[in-house]
Structure 1
Amino acid sequence: MADEFAKGLGLLTGAGLIWMVLAGWYKTPSFEGAQLTGSPPGELSMLGELAIVFLESMFWLAIFGALLFWVGVPLGRELYAKVEGE
């Protein structure tokens, strides 16, 4: 169980750090307004557009990756043990 917790925590912190860095670059228009949640600039190059896609994918990887290892894997093991025990 500690292994799944470490994997989920690693995904949450690693993907969350990447999300925070990219959101700071692309979604923080000023320090007085919305930070990390503002809208991205309109005129982006192809690399900027790829960074926005990567930013959004890191957000969802952090959320669903942690849920997978903290809830999904233990639940799957419990269900498998229950089916094997019958």
Structure 2
Amino acid sequence: MADEFMKGFALFALGGLGWITFGGWYRTPSYYQVSQLVNPAEGVDTVYAEVGLVVGDVSFWVMVLGALTFWVLVPVSREIRRSLDDDGEAAN
């Protein structure tokens, strides 16, 4: 279980770092606003800025889905597989 936790934590940390970095560059018009990282992008007029927006969005979903996968889905699938194996052995 510790291995899955660290994999999920690594994806959570790296995705969060990417999301905060690219969100700070492209989605923060002023540091005095309350909602900084979720603002719509302004002044995106180059290909590099578009790539930065895509990388920021991908980083957010890596953060969310990576942690969800390793913290919830993998342990649940192992428990389901273990319970199905136990039911099959009990039937024999």
Q: TM-score, length-normalised on structure 1?
A: 0.91
Q: Where does structure 1 differ by over 2 angstroms across 4 or more consecutive aligned residues? A: none
Alignment coverage as a number of residue pairs: 86
Structure 1 unmatched ranges of 5 or more? none
How far off is 1:42 after superposition? 3.9
Aligned twin of 1:80: 81
Structure 2 unmatched ranges of 5 or more? none
* 1:13 to 2:13 alignment: yes
Q: Give, as a single letter, the amino acid of the residue that structure 1 aligns with 2:9.
A: L
Distance 2:31 2:44 in 1: 20
Distance 2:21 2:6 in 1: 22
Please give the per-residue CA displacement for 1:10-41, whole angstroms capped at 9, x wherever unaligned: 10011100110110000110122232222211
* 1:71 to 2:72 alignment: yes
Distance 1:43 1:5 in 2: 37
3-state DSSP class of the match of 2:70?
A: helix
How far off is 1:62 after superposition? 0.4
Aligned twin of 2:26: 26
Instruction: Give the greater-gyration-radius structure (CA).
Output: 2
